[in-house]
Amino acid sequence: MSEKIRVYITQEEVENRIQQMADRISSEFAGKTVHLVGILKGSVMFMSELAKRLTIPVTMDFMSCSSYGSGTVSKGIVKITKDLDEPIEGKDVILIEDIVDSGNTLAYLIQVFKTRKPASFMICTLLDKPSRRVRPEVKVDHTCFTIEDHFVVGYGLDYDQKYRNLPYIGIVEFE
């Protein structure tokens, strides 16, 4: 089966929205240093575009998680496969996600981060698909785009590890 990618959110729209979010975070955290934590690999492009636009001091770290389930159905069992390099205690942490779907990954990570005593903790995501949420307790602080239930790629997001490098967000169409 081959697939085609249809542009859903253009590069210009994505970058304008990231700029708005960066401005908001820079003023919200004026006088502080924010510690960005990216969830690999999907958040990498969003995190770097956001970080470049922040006018406050920034530090960065990364974590990698896997979620188990059969096929495309997540069972909500999440495991950390690469932990942070640095402790987050006392830091103003912003967790950076590519997309919040079922919410299982974040539901787990919120618990993990709480036990590590950051000074503050916030969640920032490029995309949110609220119609797919199975963990309503997961509250996202900043969302660039709320989208319908489409499988999207680009700007860090993959289909079968492909298309992460697209500079726009596209919908996968199978032919």
Provide the binding-site residues for ligand IMP, judged by CB under 6 A: 42, 67, 74, 97-105, 151-153, 157
Provide the binding-site residues for Mg ion, judged by CB under 5 A: 42, 98
Shortest separation between residue 93's beta carbon and ligand IMP, angstroms: 18
Which of Mg ion, ligand IMP, none sits in contact with 125, Cβ below 5 to 8 A by type?
none
Residues belonging to the active site: 101
Report the relative pairing of strands 34-40 and 3-9 from DSSP bridges.
unpaired
The C-alpha atoms of residue 5 and residue 49 are separated, in whole angstroms, by 22
Shortest separation between residue 66's beta carbon and ligand IMP, angstroms: 10
Measured from the CB atom, the residue of 95 and 153 that comes closer to ligand IMP is 153
What token pair was written down for 23? Answer: 């401005």
Measured from the CB atom, the residue of 5 and 127 that comes closer to Mg ion is 127
What token pair was written down for 26? Answer: 């820079």
Measured from the CB atom, the residue of 58 and 152 that comes closer to ligand IMP is 152
Shortest separation between residue 31's beta carbon and Mg ion, angstroms: 31
Shortest separation between residue 87's beta carbon and ligand IMP, angstroms: 24
Measured from the CB atom, the residue of 56 and 107 that comes closer to ligand IMP is 107
Which of ligand IMP, Mg ion, none sits in contact with 168, Cβ below 5 to 8 A by type?
none
3-state SS string for the chain: CCEEEEEEECHHHHHHHHHHHHHHHHHHCCCCCEEEEEEECCCHHHHHHHHHHCCCCEEEEEEEEEEEEECCEEEEEEEEEECCCCCCCCCEEEEEEEEECCCHHHHHHHHHHHHCCCCEEEEEEEEECHHHCCCCCCCCCEEEEECCCCCEEECCECECCECCCCCCEEEEEEC
